[in-house]
Structure 1
Amino acid sequence: MEAINHAENYLRNKAKSTEQPYQIDISNDVISISCDNQKMFGHIRIEKILHSAFQKSLGLSEKQSRHCAIIHTPAFSSDSDAQKLLPMLCYFALRQARIWHCENIIFSTKDNLNTVRTLSALLRLEPVVHLPQISAQRLNYAIHHAYEACDQTQRDVIQTYFVHEILDTFKSWVTQLFHDSWFSAVKTRSLSKEQYISTLFNLHAFVKYTTRLAARCVAICETRDLRNHYIHHLKGEINHEVIIESDLKALRADVDYLLQSYVPHTATGEFIVLQESIVSFKQDAVLMLACPFVAEGMTANITNAFVEDLHATIKSWGVKSPESVSRFLTSHMKTDGGDDGHWTRVIMMMDKYIKTENQHQQFLHILGLAMSGYAHGLNANIDDLELWRSQQTVVTSVKDEALV
């Protein structure tokens, strides 16, 4: 996924060019923070409950454990360091749990009594009546209080990590998307012509509104830089739905029906309604960045292998020139990807304008809705139209893929 690599390089270079008062090391489940040239140091461990020794010792079911993480006892070089670093250390531990899609945070009440009291007060941990061995809290509530307990310098450092969490969340989602129904149908070359036409119809249903939504964002932007971003985005999206119409005409699809009467699939409607709500009701141009981040992030990260599979599939329908019916998807690989494409520009704006934990939580909320709606809409073109795909083709293709 080349575009993700470009984004990570951008963030890495940005971090190198900025001197930070805290050095933070995040190694999956262990978070370490130091400052003052290692004179102040602390670390903490966070762990998923599911399939852990702690789950077994508590007798928790898989359902109870699935969205939970346990925060372990932090360690510090001195008591004074503990007082200074604990809120920030807990924030980054809970941030990791949030990336894992956990909703609850747990701490053992069997720990040192002072530690239990300190963490309970900081994270607003509460007893669980039927599980006296633990105290717990909803993750977003706990991380909110950890953030609020940080001083301004620490919050400034935390802000630089918001975009990293957003990118990690997207990376997890798009990796799964590339294994879901639609991309699997392309990879196994079992996508039917009817399913592809349905895909283009539903893409057209929201692409045709992109310039109008971008124009509304221009109107509501209070800051020049963000307004200029949407102006640039608007110019780059003009008449992109016409490319889809051209692809469909080459497939001899009913474009008049598309333009005059087509109502998009309900799943596609989820993504459309979300954008309309952000722009018209919330009127928040920063939150709106989540939608192009998802849509352009998908096209920016598809590979040349995808194009080869798509073209081979289209040829199997008897289309002599697959390029003539796939211009929309393949052209967006270039305009959205690269180190100067639309997607990288969106990431730069998110990095600049998401400033507080509350704003970050709101953005993650909208991002989750956008990812869910986009994936649901794309995959529905396969899942709801399996009638049009030969099951023999599907079985053969899956077997061939397993042998590779």
Structure 2
Amino acid sequence: MHQPEAYPSPVLSTRLFLRERDLRGEPAALDAAPSAVRVELLGGERTIAITVVPAEAEPAAATLTGAHQAAALCDLDAPPGTPELALLVYAALQRARIWRRAAVVSSEPSLAAAPLKLSALAQRGLRAAPLDLAMHRLFTACDEAGCALLAARFVAEAAACLSRHAEAFADNAWCRAVHAGRLAREQYVAALANTHQYVRYTPRLLARAISVCDDEPLRDHFTRHFRGEQKHDRLIEADLRYLEADVEFVLRAMAPWGPTLTFMSVQESMVAFHQDLTCFLAAPFVAEGLAARVGPLVLDDLAGNIRRWGYREPARATRFLVSHAREDGGDDGHWSATLAVLARLLRDDTTQQRFLAALHLAADAFTASYDAYADYLTLFTPPLLADP
């Protein structure tokens, strides 16, 4: 007869706080590059701690097939049966989730039992589990206070994920061409034209979200956003006309390029098919977050490229980008408003995992779209020795 699983006692409802440091003892930001981090939980009967590290950097796990897709837990310092252990390990594995690892591996005997329930691997002494399942089990093993402590970190975790995407986006082929002064007019026009394909639908998608939203504060957020997104497509059209692009083609006949369509599909499916308004926020979270973080870094160099094409007033070709770098950034920008909304919506592990999946899908597509705007049209790239 099947016996109920013996889960450890719930996390104690005491004042607890987390401290995360690198191996030099310095505070480790959530968006730091993957490396060993010591996570400590203070405030209980004693401080407990564990180290999370990319599996390929942990000697015991480095030779595993797929080590680069896993995170390792080691150096556990907690008495057997410590009730706060699930909370500590979950917090440590949030870093693995930010690193986009898919599995957790450890040789720690205390982690083999429930709730983590690591399965034995062929390599002696090592056990592992899929990361999503492991984190679900850990979260459900925490009591209400423990879950609240972890949920309070969810927005910071999402922001850290986006910060790592911003690094990748800032190094995409299109941005590299801008900074090198080798962006072709056609590559910029492609970016504007494809952006128009989804910006013109933003008010309609927001209207759809408003119509199916039963959460009044969230509906108010969408309403404010709706008002702020009116006629942004007209800014793009004005930029394109100044650059003498075929605006009628963009308006009447153009189909979005594949990567652009992927980005569009994320938000369209979330609001129209799934009616998952939390995940619907992932697309603007990405687009506005990247605009706020990367936009200001490219505008000056972009103006230099536009002058090289023979246009004396770059400001007349960058109205849309300048507007979004200004409106989406700052403490009162669209992105900050989205953060405040998400802080209320992201309250359990399942919602967080789903939101992060949508975030990564949107961010990967957004970065791939800008790579495409440059890579698909490299034949227009000016020669290295071309005169400015």
Deviations 1:305-349 (A, max 9, x none): 522101010000000111111110011111111110111000111
Residue 22 of structure 1 aligns to which amino acid in structure 2? L
Provide the residue aligned with 2:67 in structure 1: 65
Q: How does 1:224-303 map to 2 (within 5 A)?
A: 224-302=216-294
**Partner residue in 2 for 1:32:** 40
1:101 Cα offset (Å): 1.5
1:53 partner amino acid: P
Which of 119, 131, 138 aligns to 1:126? It is: 119
Aligned to 1:41: 47
- Secondary structure, counterpart of 2:47 in structure 1: strand
Residues 72-110 of structure 1 deviation map (CA, whole Å, 9 limit, x = unaligned): 14213x55xx421111011111111111221111111xx
- Cα distance in 2 between the residues matched to 1:322 and 1:107: 55
Report the Cα distance in structure 2 between the residues aligned to 1:305 and 1:368, rounded to whole angstroms. 22
Q: Is the 8 A contact 1:190 1:393 kept in 2?
A: no
> In the alignment, residue 221 of structure 2 is paired with which amino acid?
H
Answer yes or no: is the 8 Å Cα contact 1:247–1:327 preserved in 2. yes
User: Structure 1 residue aligned with 2:15, among 2, 21, 24?
Assistant: 21
Letter of the structure 1 residue corresponding to residue 68 of structure 2 = R
Amino acid at match of 1:83: T
Identity %: 30
What SS is found at the alignment partner of 1:302? helix
Residue identity matched to 1:96:
R
**Structure 2: gaps spanning 5 or more residues:** 1-13, 22-27, 29-36
Residue number among 320, 323, 327 corresponding to 2:312 in the alignment: 320
Aligned equivalent of 1:173: 165
User: Partner of 2:196: helix, strand, or coil?
Assistant: helix
Q: Could you tell me which residue of structure 2 aligns to residue 376 of structure 1?
A: 368
Query: What is the CA deviation profile of residues 151-197 of structure 1, one whole-angstrom value per residue up to 9, with x for unaligned ones?
Result: 11100111100001101100011011101111111111110001111
Judge conservation of contact 1:192–1:388 (CA < 8 Å) in 2: yes
1:365-388 Cα shifts (integer Å, max 9, x gaps) = 110111011111121000111011
Deviation at 1:303, TM superposition (A): 5.5
> What is the root-mean-square deviation in Å for CA atoms of aligned residues?
1.8
Equivalent AA in structure 2 for residue 239 of structure 1: K
User: What is the letter of the counterpart of residue 121 of structure 1?
Assistant: A
Partner in structure 2 of residue 210 of structure 1: 202
1:30 is displaced (CA, Å) by 0.8
Range with bigger deviation, 365-374 or 20-29:
20-29
> Given that residues 119 and 127 in structure 2 are in contact (C-alpha distance below 8 angstroms), is that contact kept between their aligned partners in structure 1?
yes
Deviations 1:259-316 (A, max 9, x none): 1111111110001111110011110111111110111111112354522101010000
Q: TM-score, normalised by structure 2?
A: 0.89
The one-letter amino acid of 1:107's match is S
Alignment correspondent of 1:163: 155
Q: Which has the higher helix share?
A: 1
Alignment of 1:315-394 (within 5 A): 315-392=307-384
Within 5 Å, which residues of 2 pair with 1:64-103? 64-76=66-78, 82-103=81-102
What amino acid sits opposite 2:15 in the alignment? P
